[in-house]
Amino acid sequence: MRQSQLFTKTRREAPKDEVAKNAELLIRAGFIHKELAGVYSYLPLGLRVLNNIVQVIREEMNAIGGQELYLTALQDPNVWKKSGRWDDVAVDNWFKTKLKNDTELGLGFTHEEQLTNLMKDYISSFRDLPFSAYQFQTKFRNEARAKSGIMRAREFLMKDLYSFSRDEKEHVDFYEKAKAAYVKIFERLGLGDETYITFASGGSFSKYSHEFQTLSDAGEDMIYIDEKKKIAVNKEVLNDEVLNDLGLDRKNLIEKKAVEVGNIFSLGTRFSDAFDLNYLDMDGKKKPVVMGSYGIGPGRVMGVIAETMSDDHGLVWPRGIAPFDVHLVVIFDKGGTAKKEADALYDELLKNGTSVLYDDRDLRPGEKFADSDLIGIPTRVVVSEKNLKEGKFEVKDRKSGKVEMVVKGELGKILEK
Amino acid sequence: MRQSQLFTKTRREAPKDEVAKNAELLIRAGFIHKELAGVYSYLPLGLRVLNNIVQVIREEMNAIGGQELYLTALQDPNVWKKSGRWDDVAVDNWFKTKLKNDTELGLGFTHEEQLTNLMKDYISSFRDLPFSAYQFQTKFRNEARAKSGIMRAREFLMKDLYSFSRDEKEHVDFYEKAKAAYVKIFERLGLGDETYITFASGGSFSKYSHEFQTLSDAGEDMIYIDEKKKIAVNKEVLNDEVLNDLGLDRKNLIEKKAVEVGNIFSLGTRFSDAFDLNYLDMDGKKKPVVMGSYGIGPGRVMGVIAETMSDDHGLVWPRGIAPFDVHLVVIFDKGGTAKKEADALYDELLKNGTSVLYDDRDLRPGEKFADSDLIGIPTRVVVSEKNLKEGKFEVKDRKSGKVEMVVKGELGKILEK
């Protein structure tokens, strides 16, 4: 895309009431817009990043057999009363609204109830199991405070997958597959090294749940990591019994702040009991379905990347997640050929399937470079009169800052790295 | 996808309270699930159709330079008070909710206000114009009655594009481009023949708006069409002055029921005036931005297709919109090779990039054919022992019902048609 056409522009300052570093940077770079505390719109650059994250997650959910669907935000109170979670005392972050006839409805903060209820139409026999279903859907959570930018929003996109199994063994098989898929997802998102599988409390049906915690000073969780074993324990469950269970030694643990970027949870029969979601097994015996839930917030992941990978100059996107592969910047020189060469290079890159933000604006070089650093596309290619005299382009890696002068014909090879 | 894995199943009956034919068929075929009146979830087959429709619209919006973004559902009352549309008297279909501190928020039923307000951060000079931005976003409309299935839902996906121009001339240029894009979209969606550009009332800034009306007995609008000129007039503006404007003769008009599948609207400076969205022109003079809005509901389009193209046996999807290109059905024969041949064909079709629903279930042929007709995939390929003896597959076109016996090696050619 030509940057002269992009309607967003970088800004020197974020709104005064914005306290989160991730939102501040993303607003300044034109990726998001703050509507209200905890309520952010995604502008073209931001939506491209969000969609890239969504696509990575979707591919890995499909790879473990997840079937994509799309549930509603509006929630029927009668469904939630069955599990006891309609009450504002039981759940303190509902947003509720009303139909014209005064019937109260909720805005989904999660979807266990709705999906369990729906599955009564489709599960009756052991032949219908096992399977899993997932969605990318907007959740609404009425947070009392919302000061973490897009890392904890009141309205946010969530990938939630739910598994339906015949018994505990079948459930555990899927649970382990999902866990491995999550490890792969965070690696692909560039967060692998900083993300720890973290043991957390499991509720009534399993001793532990597993959180995926990414180290960050902006995190709200405190975790204890064993670097060698690459696992961690959430502070809330850290005790001798747990350490013993996991074969961990307290003296090898390091306390770190972290952000929960994903979590996987065995639900047992909590919801199937509440909704009578049963099946007939091979012997004709009625049994409850065993469920699990598996969440990742793509917006939160984007916030964590903005928060932890940025530097003093701005955002630094990992390849594959970045809004574009290449930021092509032309330095105008009156009467020169730089613009023509850059136009040709732009067309060539697009033809090769490289996604390019092309800064074709007639601005001072310093301004263009500052914008480029703030936006944080992994590779910057500068076309200027001076370098063209030597038949070269300047290629800069945003992350390392390393600059290479590349002979025109060699650019393709460099970009493939 | 293997149908044995698909968690949805067809149903003999839709819920008793469902009165709309589109929803009844889509529920029976397992495309959608009814949560509440006017509130429907999209199941895997339905989501595939919805996404196909979305993709057609996205491509055409990108082709006219639209920049995709994603605004929020939660709406700030202070923004809407500026245009006078916060009041429940001015707008009678708001869903409203509350923050913990009792601040009232709205759930967006449209996004003119939010986007106009946002653009104040990005538009200041004539250099920033013109451009257009669009989104696929969930709208909430508190309809008093919701009896038209997914053709008029209380929560639904909408593509809304907004254009920002320097003056009326520039606006009209874009408006005409958008109109042509809409014609192309409805052609690609298979609704071209039955969809009429329809003159409707234009509000305070232009005499007419244009609706795209698809003929359907389930429609809520009455339009008067001139078949030769392929245009129509909405009943609400049918009078002699309008007929004269458009060069239409009342005796050539036929009255028809129709569904509004899209509309395009000149907003003039209504919103830019309310929000002080101005720019400095080349002479340094402050001028208001001229706006337009352009909507299509992908869910409604899907409902209209289900409503108007179905037959007594079920749904009939146009190619390109269908959940899969091919429905491959194997007829089991004990000890025979049909299953093996069908498995091989399934792999081959996938490898060629054909999307396939493969009915590999061990059910009676009649049951499988009835399901296949109900689901409505354009091409059905039947693999059975009997036909294999002649080295052939049976290929049936869902729409025409035409059956061909195709030699195995020729199948690729047939599917390309």
* DSSP per-residue string spanning B316-350: -PPTTTSS-SEEEEEE--TT-SHHHHHHHHHHHHH
pLDDT of A15 strictly over 90: no
Burial state string for A395-409 with b = 16 or more CB within 10 A and e = fewer than 16: bbebeeeeeeebebe
> Distance between terminal CA atoms of chain B?
22
Residue B262: per-residue pLDDT: 98
- From residue A401, give the alpha-carbon distance in Å to each of A258, A313, B297, B324: 27, 11, 46, 47
Assigned token pair, A76: 């029927």
Give residue-wise pLDDT tens across range A312-354.
999 999 999 999 999 999 998 877 799 999 999 999 999 999 9
Q: Which residue of A has its CA nearest to B115?
A: A41
Q: Which residue has the tokens 């800034």?
A: B205
| Other beta carbons less than 10 A from residue A98's beta carbon | 13
Instruction: Tell me the C-alpha distance between A363 and B361, whole Å.
Output: 64
Residues of chain A with C-beta less than 8 angstroms from the C-beta of B142:
99-100
Annotated domain spans of chain A: 21-309, 326-416
B192-223 pLDDT tens trace: 999 999 999 998 778 899 999 999 999 999 99
Instruction: State the average pLDDT over residues A180-205.
Output: 95
Instruction: Write down the pLDDT at residue A390.
Output: 92
Mean per-residue pLDDT for B263-280?
97
**Does A416 score more than 80 pLDDT?**
no
Cβ distance A73 to B155 less than 8 Å, yes or no, reads yes
Per DSSP, the three-state class of B272 is helix
SS3 label, residue B210: strand
Helix (H, G, I), strand (E, B), or coil: what is residue A126? helix
Q: A305 and A190 in contact (C-beta within 8 Å)? A: yes
- CB < 8 Å to A361, chain B: none
Tell me the nearest-neighbour CA distance from A82 into chain B, angstroms. 15
Query: Which strand (E) or helix (H) includes residue A177?
Result: helix A168-188
Q: Per CATH, the architecture of B21-309 is what?
A: 2-Layer Sandwich (3.30)
CB-hemisphere CA count at 13 Å for A131? 23
Chain A: give the shortest CA distance to residue B405, in Å.
Answer: 33
Rounded to whole angstroms, the Cα distance separating A263 from A151 reads 15
Q: How far apart are CA A291 and CA A274, in angstroms?
A: 12
**Closest residue of A to B73, CA-based?**
A155
Contact (Cβ atoms closer than 8 angstroms) between residue B170 and residue B120: no
Tell me how far CA of residue A386 lies from CA of A243, A331, A380, A391, in angstroms. 63, 9, 17, 9
Task: State pLDDT tens for residues B42-98.
Answer: 999 999 999 999 999 999 999 999 999 999 999 999 999 999 999 999 999 999 999
DSSP alpha helix (H) spans, A77-132: 77-83, 112-119
Residue from B232, B234, B206 nearest B220 by CA: B234
Beta-bridged to residue B416, according to DSSP, are none
For residues B307, B310, B311 and B312, what is the CA-based torsion angle, rounded to 10 degrees?
-70
* Cβ A165 vs Cβ A141: under 8 Å: no
Strand arrangement of the beta sheet that strand B379-384 belongs to: B356-359, B326-331, B379-384, B392-397, B403-407
Question: Which residues, listed in sequence order, are joined to residue B159 by a DSSP beta bridge?
Answer: B136, B296
| Amino acid B417: pLDDT | 58
Q: What is the mean pLDDT of residues B165-189?
A: 98
Which residues, numbered 321 to 380 in chain B, qualify as contacts with chain A under a Cβ-Cβ cut-off of 8 Å? none
A414: pLDDT strictly greater than 80: no
The CA distance from A70 to the nearest CA of chain B, in Å, is 5
pLDDT in tens, A235-276: 999 999 999 999 999 999 999 999 999 999 999 999 999 999
- For the segment B402-413, the average pLDDT, to the nearest whole number, is 88
Determine what percent of chain B is predicted with pLDDT higher than 90.
93
A44 CB neighbours in chain B (<8 A) are 67-69, 133
Phi-psi region of B65 (alpha: psi -120 to 50; beta: other; left: phi over 0): left
Amino acid B411: pLDDT: 85
Residue A342: predicted pLDDT: 96
**Structure tokens belonging to residue A35:** 């509507």
Distance from the Cα of A107 to chain B's closest Cα (Å) equals: 9
The C-alpha angle with vertex A356 and arms to A352 and A360, in degrees rounded to 5, equals: 125
| Interface contact B118-A41, CB threshold 8 A | yes
The C-alpha atoms of residue B18 and residue A299 are separated, in whole angstroms, by 36
> Which residue is closest to A65 within chain B, CA to CA?
B5
Right CATH for A326-416 from 3.30.1330.40, 1.10.10.10, 3.40.50.800, 3.90.1150.10: 3.40.50.800
Question: To which residue do tokens 């007929």 refer?
Answer: B243
Asked if the C-beta of A42 comes within 8 angstroms of chain B's C-beta atoms, the answer is yes
Residue type, A263: N
B39 touches chain A (CB under 8 A): yes
Instruction: Quote the minimal CA–CA distance from A241 to chain B in Å.
Output: 39
Mean pLDDT of the residues in chain B: 96
**Given pLDDT bands bounded at 50, 70 and 90, which one contains residue B410?**
confident
Contacts of A72 in chain B (CB under 8 A): 35, 39-41, 155
Treating both helix axes as pointing N-terminal to C-terminal, what angle do B298-309 and B21-28 enclose, rounded to 10 degrees? 90
What is the structure's pLDDT at B205? 79
pLDDT of residue B176: 98
Asked if B151 and B303 count as a contact pair (C-beta separation under 8 A), the reply is yes
| Best residue in A27, A48, A70 for a mutation probing chain B (most B CBs within 10 Å) | A70
Where residue B64 falls (left for φ over 0; alpha for ψ -120 to 50; beta otherwise) is alpha
- pLDDT tier at B15, thresholds 50, 70, 90: confident
Kindly list the residues from chain B whose CB atom is less than 8 angstroms away from the CB atom of residue A50. Answer: 70
Contact B9/A at CB under 8 A: yes
User: How many residues in chain B?
Assistant: 417
> What are all long-range contacts of A6-14, with beta carbons under 8 Å and residues at least 24 apart?
A6/A30, A6/A44, A6/A45, A6/A357, A6/B67, A7/A44, A7/B67, A7/B119, A7/B122, A7/B123, A7/B128, A7/B131, A7/B133, A7/B164, A8/A43, A8/A44, A8/A45, A8/B122, A9/B122, A10/A370, A10/A371, A10/A374, A10/A375, A11/B121
Cα–Cα distance for residue pair B314/B323, rounded to 1 Å: 14
As a whole number of angstroms, the distance between CA A345 and CA A395 comes to: 13
Whole-Å CA distances, B92 to B87, B97, B104, B142 = 8, 15, 16, 8
- B97 CB neighbour count, 10 Å cutoff: 23
Q: Give the pLDDT confidence score for residue A205 in this predicted structure.
A: 79
Q: Residue B413 — pLDDT band, cuts 50, 70, 90?
A: confident
Say whether pLDDT at A417 is over 70: no
Lowest-confidence segment of A190-199, A343-352, B332-341 by average pLDDT: B332-341
Q: Any idea which residue has 């329809």 for tokens?
A: B198
Range A93-99 contact pairs with CB under 8 angstroms and sequence separation of 24 or more: A93/A141, A93/A142, A93/A143, A94/A142, A95/A140, A95/A141, A95/A142, A95/A154, A95/B97, A95/B98, A96/B97, A96/B98, A97/B95, A97/B96, A97/B97, A97/B107, A98/B95, A98/B96, A99/B142
Instruction: Please classify residue A12 by burial: count the beta carbons closer than 10 Å to its beta carbon, then call 0-12 exposed, 13-18 middle and 19+ buried.
Output: exposed
What confidence tens digit (pLDDT) does each residue in B224-258 have? 999 999 999 999 999 999 999 999 999 999 999 99
* pTM > 0.90: yes
Q: Say how far apart CA B259 and CA B406 lie, in whole Å.
A: 40
